[in-house]
């Protein structure tokens, strides 16, 4: 199994003691590759890489490298333990080889982009495979050799911070495959509210640039060809299936979240699903009201501690490998600061991937954003698809006439064309009066994030952002943010 990991920082801090090693907040440093192999000899059998993948779905390929069909997902479980600002998740998925042939399975699954994976195991029948660290190319070579010799092996690769691919060699006919992944992620906190997002599916990405030939087709399978700007496009474009095309009991997940907030809770809710919640002081047990959820959107959970006019603190303790770790969380008091004048530029994605409900949600979000403008603020609206276009040549005062024109403009926006974010970012980040230090320069990006050149966009933001503040509004059931 091949898996890209980012090693956590080894330096201990007072507030982040428990995050080191096990409660790591964000991966940093050198990328590692995790190789998971179980060298159990069986009769020499051969299986080739699947040419088709799906987000969260195991696909089977026969010895002629021909894609067969999605394997039946028997069970998916998210077991989440939240300790203050850190969430630890055990994701377990059970598949079955429903064919009468020995197969190789390939499946693609999403993870939070700021997650750190610390454990991986795979069980085929009664045999369990546990992860081992190996360099990337060595892990691939070991996997290929084991696969060709008929040995059981698994390989996991990180294609993007939020996209992983798993290959399992030599699955017997009718056999069950259990994949278990453990990871940690920071819990978002803003405006007095915590938010946890569990991705269950992927949004297809737009691949900018001219197509080019495949460099290594064995490791690139998907609907998109590699391009000059996205050379790994074929590895990050899994085929998708509609819920109507799969077994009624497949593509469903059980979710259980245990929240230990450390401070009394006021409420727990979700904008994505109905919940069955039991709150007891600073602790909450949360499950979907329906028991299981369809894996067609992110599972989003939000909770709020009781407001206080004084700072409050909570301390969390954990033992690991014979050592004690402490983590402190300090909550600021509730209060209102001075109101600052703003220069606010809204950037809305009107590409083809936003068609249907997504563009309606985006228009609604932008209209609500316009309603937040105050006298003294300046604003502008930029739409982009294959090209970027600004409503005004520069940010204008938020008076009644300008706002009326902006609302009319937004209501007429339609979704079509490509997703060329580079030009939109360039226009938004270079617009406005940089000499006016009395204003807060804010940029709000409304998009589904369905592009394959994320790294280039992040580099552009780091280069051009300056003292501006960039916010993203995720649109759709599984935005790539």
Exposed/middle/buried for residue 228 (C-beta within 10 Å: 0-12, 13-18, 19+)? exposed
More confident residue, 2 or 260: 260
**What is the reported pLDDT for 60?**
59
pLDDT at 335 over 50: yes
**What is the reported pLDDT for 457?**
82
Lowest average pLDDT, out of 40-54, 155-169, 354-368, 466-480, goes to: 40-54
Q: 57 falls in which pLDDT band (50, 70, 90)?
A: low
**What is the reported pLDDT for 16?**
38
pLDDT at 18 over 70: no
Residue owning tokens 């453990």: 182
Cross-strand pairs, 96: 72, 176
- 41 Cβ contact list (under 8 Å, min separation 6): 149, 150, 151
- Residue range 290-318: average pLDDT? 87
Structure confidence by residue, pLDDT tens digits, 361-373:
899 999 999 999 9
- 396 Cβ contact list (under 8 Å, min separation 6): 378, 379, 380, 402
Q: 56 falls in which pLDDT band (50, 70, 90)?
A: very low
Structure confidence by residue, pLDDT tens digits, 186-241:
999 988 899 999 998 766 666 777 777 655 444 444 556 677 677 666 665 555 55
**What is the reported pLDDT for 217?**
46
pLDDT at 98 over 70: yes
Average pLDDT, the chain: 77
pLDDT at 305 over 80: yes
Domains of the chain: 1-202+238-335 (no CATH), 341-474 (3.40.50.410)
Structure confidence by residue, pLDDT tens digits, 124-145:
778 787 877 677 788 888 888 9
- Determine the Cα–Cα distance for residues 451 and 471; give it in Å rounded to an integer: 17
**What is the reported pLDDT for 88?**
95
Cross-strand pairs, 190: 193
Q: 181 falls in which pLDDT band (50, 70, 90)?
A: confident
Helix/strand/coil for 342: strand
**What is the reported pLDDT for 232?**
67
Exposed/middle/buried for residue 61 (C-beta within 10 Å: 0-12, 13-18, 19+)? buried
Helix/strand/coil for 401: helix
Question: Whole-prediction pTM value?
Answer: 0.60
For the beta carbon of residue 203, count every other beta carbon within 10 angstroms.
23
- Residue range 434-448: average pLDDT? 85
Lowest average pLDDT, out of 152-156, 157-161, 348-352, 365-369, goes to: 157-161
**What is the reported pLDDT for 114?**
86
């Amino acid at each position: 199994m091949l898996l890209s990991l980012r090693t956590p920082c080894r330096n201990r801090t007072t507030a982040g003691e428990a995050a080191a090693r096990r409660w790591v907040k964000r991966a940093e440093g050198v990328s590692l590759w995790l190789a998971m192999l179980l060298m159990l000899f069986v009769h020499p059998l051969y299986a080739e890489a699947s040419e088709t993948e799906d987000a969260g779905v195991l696909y089977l390929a026969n010895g002629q490298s021909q894609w067969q069909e999605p394997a039946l997902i028997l069970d998916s479980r998210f077991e989440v333990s939240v300790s203050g600002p850190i969430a630890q998740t055990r994701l377990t998925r059970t598949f079955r080889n429903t064919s009468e042939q020995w197969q190789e399975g390939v499946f693609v699954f999403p993870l939070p982009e700021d997650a750190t994976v610390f454990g991986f195991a795979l069980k085929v029948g009664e045999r369990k495979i546990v992860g081992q660290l190996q360099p990337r190319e060595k892990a691939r070579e070991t996997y290929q050799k084991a696969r060709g010799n008929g040995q059981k092996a698994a390989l996991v690769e990180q294609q993007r911070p939020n996209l992983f691919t798993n290959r399992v060699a030599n699955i017997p006919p009718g056999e069950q495959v259990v994949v278990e992944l453990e990871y940690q992620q920071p819990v978002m906190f803003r405006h007095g509210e915590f938010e946890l997002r569990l991705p269950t599916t992927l949004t297809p990405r737009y691949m900018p640039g001219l197509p080019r030939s495949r460099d290594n087709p064995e490791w690139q399978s998907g609907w998109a060809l590699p391009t000059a700007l996205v050379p790994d496009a074929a590895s990050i474009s899994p085929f998708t299936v509609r819920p109507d095309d799969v077994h009624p009991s497949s593509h469903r997940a059980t979710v259980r979240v245990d929240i230990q907030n450390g401070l009394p809770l006021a409420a727990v809710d979700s904008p994505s699903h109905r919940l069955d919640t039991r709150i007891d002081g600073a602790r909450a047990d949360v499950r979907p009201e329906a028991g299981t959820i369809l894996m067609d959107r992110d599972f989003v959970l939000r909770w709020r501690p009781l407001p206080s006019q004084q700072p409050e603190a909570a301390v969390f303790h954990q033992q690991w490998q014979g050592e004690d770790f402490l983590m402190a969380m300090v909550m600021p008091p509730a209060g209102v600061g001075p109101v600052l004048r703003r220069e606010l530029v809204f950037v809305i994605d009107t590409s083809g991937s936003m068609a249907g409900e997504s563009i309606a949600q985006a228009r609604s979000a932008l209209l609500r954003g316009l309603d937040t403008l105050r006298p003294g603020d300046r604003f502008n609206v930029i739409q982009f698809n294959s090209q970027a276009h600004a409503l005004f040549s520069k940010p204008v005062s938020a008076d009644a006439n300008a706002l009326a024109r902006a609302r009319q403009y937004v209501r007429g926006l339609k979704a079509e064309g490509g997703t060329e974010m580079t030009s939109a970012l360039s226009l938004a980040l270079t617009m406005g009066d940089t000499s006016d230090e009395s204003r807060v320069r804010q940029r709000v990006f409304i998009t589904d994030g369905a592009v394959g050149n994320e790294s280039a966009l992040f580099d552009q933001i780091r280069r051009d952002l300056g003292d501006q503040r960039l916010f993203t509004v995720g649109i759709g059931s599984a935005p790539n943010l």
